Amino acid sequence: MSDEKESDSEDKKPKAPSRVWVVEDNTTLATTVARVLDRQKDMKCVHKFERCEEAIEALVAGERPDVMLFDIGLPGMSGIEGIRRIKTALPEIEILVFSVFDDNEKVFNAICAGASGYLLKTSSMGEIPDAIREILGGGAPINALIARRVLDMFSDLAPQSRDYGLTDREKEVLEQMVEGLTKKEIADQLDLSFHTVDKHIRGIYSKLHVNTMTGAVAKALKEGLLPKG
């Protein structure tokens, strides 16, 4: 009986706020973003860094965020290179780009480096915590203008279809990912458990050699991995 009470007590413990790091060299903007995040009940800005190198040093020291909000126009190491290094070493860390840059090359490179989402700095402050929640829920938030640029960019590329050995079920899951569904929504759509969908997505990541849902979608579109129509 005491064990059951202890278990119930543990279940009722409030979930710890998600740990967010802000990598932004504009001190005023970084402080504003941190204040917005700290006003949320479910997240907290744990660190602000002006350079990629500082964030990487903290990771090497053993600290871990749940999400990193990343500018890509940084002094020293570029944000894109920083994202690539972090995602290679610690693929479980989610990264949301927050940048003034909306040109195709930087968007494409950030996504390929492992960014889970991309917001422009013209977005409202209220969109940032919503985007972080979406990422933590398995989604891939992208500013509407960036989404259009990504679609236009991939439509100009000739599909280079390759056989990555995806199973029929993995292709079904990938189709839902391309539609922008979260893991939970995919589970509901395909009448599968969340655990099963997660297993299929990890299989897709492995076969496509990517680390994020955004990367898988980008590769599927670029290489024409799914049937048209």
Q: For residue 168, what is the domain's CATH number?
A: 1.10.10.10
Q: Residue 153's pLDDT is what?
A: 67
Q: Residue 161's pLDDT is what?
A: 57
Q: Provide the number of structural domains found in the chain.
A: 2
Higher-scoring residue by pLDDT: 7, 36? 36
* Closest CA relative to residue 180, chosen from 223, 156, 211, 151: 151
Binned at pLDDT 50, 70 and 90, residue 6 comes out as low
Q: Residue 107's pLDDT is what?
A: 85
Domain closes at, from 122, 153, 184? 153
Same domain, 79 and 191: no
Mean pLDDT of the chain: 87
68 has pLDDT over 80: yes
pLDDT tens-digit series, residues 120-143: 998 899 999 999 999 999 888 887
Q: Residue 8's pLDDT is what?
A: 52
Strand order in the sheet with 94-99: 43-49, 18-23, 67-70, 94-99, 117-120
Please state the rounded mean pLDDT for residues 5-10. 51
Range of the domain at 216: 159-223
Higher-scoring residue by pLDDT: 151, 118? 118
Same domain, 53 and 117: yes
Domain closes at, from 137, 153, 169? 153
Two structure tokens written together for 11 = 């279940």
15 has pLDDT over 90: no
Q: Residue 145's pLDDT is what?
A: 75
Please state the rounded mean pLDDT for residues 82-109. 90
148 has pLDDT over 60: yes
Q: Does any domain span residue 3?
A: no
- Dist CA 210 CA 214 (whole Å): 9
Same domain, 78 and 177: no
